[in-house]
Amino acid sequence: MNEETFFKARIYGLDKEQFGIFKSILLDVIVIPLELYCGIISLFWQTSLHIVDKLNFDVNNEILVSCVFVVVIGLYGYVKELPFKVYGTFVLEEKHGFNKQTPGFFVWDQIKGLLVSNILTVLLSAAVVFIVQWGGEYFFIYLWAFAGIISLVLLTIYPIFIAPLFDKYTPLEEGDLRTAIEKLAASLKFPLTKLYVVEGSKRSSHSNAYFYGLWNSKRIVLFDTLLLNKGKKDNTEVKEEDEGKGCTNDEVVAVLGHELGHWKLGHVTKNIVIMQVNLLLLFFVFNYCFKYAPFYEALGFAPGVRPILVGLFIVLTYVMAPYNAILSFALTILSRRFEYQADEFAQKLGYADLLQKALIKLNLDNLGFPVHDWLYSSWNHSHPTLLQRMNRLKKLEAKDKKSQ
């Protein structure tokens, strides 16, 4: 990492942190307490009742009112976040050369995002209210079963039907890279059915790779920004600022060796199990807390008015806040452990040197600052730092050489 890149990465890191601190102070310290003090949630509920009444529907139908409520409060939340999205995209990311979105692309992207999120939110909210009303004393068990099924369904359909609405996915063309990936997948008995490249460069120059799918139908997705020169064989098609960026074919395969390590070691399954156990606990607490009247009165609701969705919001956001903080830290520790294990898996496949080269390239391309305070990193970073991962890989290589 030369001095110029080190300086750029440092400034980029500082800018992101300062922006995050400013946003947290403005929203978490000032705006949200004001919203609670002014009873904005109860105000939105009253607005929803008024809308339902104006449309000549039954205001006593909580499912219908709840559907309007989630749209109203969702639009408010979107408007509240929009200035930060615009600044983050067109000022912060633009300043450091990462933003690739045009204003028109951004607006169309936001419209599609609003439509999709509102449709999903309305359908899920209606189902939640119905299950709570219908389920009786043990509704939380039915709610948990529903949430578990829906989460698995969304994990399956989101990449197939929803993600392509926002980005272009094309099959990876025949060639050395495709052959190498298919060979790696076959050697690990990974049930690879599709191999895609997503045109992430229209949105950002940040890079990534992932796999998805349940059971025996897995698909791998590579960001075009991960590939050397975006995977284009003709360098004349590559912009000057993108030339030389990305990983070679061998380095991409090494990165996928790490990603497939997560699958082979059962990390995806373990995370799903943890998520389901956590959901059961959250719904169990919700079952015993959501009828507590002072919660609603504190938010400005009249005595006796206890909307189910508002109760769910109170329990998940405030009652469970200490638990959520502890759980988040525990999951961060677990995620870091999983990353080390996936690195070790790739190392055992013989990709230690290539994986280190790929990690360095990705760090440089994404202007990742390499030096972090260990305590801050332990709390905030779901992945070990670049230097920690490289040090771990070198120790594993030295251990193997010593044993030989």
Binding-site members for Zn(2+) are 258, 262, 339
Hey, what are 168's tokens? 């272009």
Two structure tokens written together for 7: 């300086």
Rounded Cα distance between 309 and 314, Å, is 9
Tokens, residue 258: 């790490």
Q: Distance between CA atoms of 98 and 93, rounded to whole angstroms?
A: 5
Q: Specify whether 173 is catalytic.
A: no
DSSP readout, 337-376? HHHHHHHHHHHHTT-HHHHHHHHHHHHHHTT------HHH
Q: Which residue(s) pair with 221 in the sheet?
A: 196, 210
Cross-sheet strand order for the sheet of 209-212: 169-171, 192-198, 218-223, 209-212
Q: If phi over 0 gives left and psi between -120 and 50 gives alpha, with beta otherwise, what is residue 353?
A: alpha
Supply the DSSP string of 84-121, one letter for each residue.
HHHHIIIIIIHHTT-B---HHHHHHHHHHHHHHHHHHH
| Beta strands in 84-230, from DSSP E residues, in sequence order | 169-171, 192-198, 209-212, 218-223
Selecting among 259, 297, 353, 397, the annotated active-site residue is 259
User: What does residue 349 show for φ and ψ, rounded to 5 degrees?
Assistant: -80, -5
Which H helix or E strand runs over 187? helix 176-187
Per DSSP, the three-state class of 320 is: coil
The values of phi and psi at residue 233, to 5°, are -75, -30
- Contacts of 387 by beta carbon, 8 Å cutoff, 6+ apart: 370, 371
DSSP 3-state percent helix, strand, coil across the chain (nearest 5): 75, 5, 20
Cross-strand partners of 99: 204
Active site residue 259: yes
Does residue 143 contact residue 167 with C-beta atoms inside 8 Å? no
Q: Indicate the DSSP class of residue 196.
A: E
Known binding-site positions: 258, 262, 339
Question: Would you please indicate which residues are annotated as catalytic (active-site) residues?
Answer: 259, 343
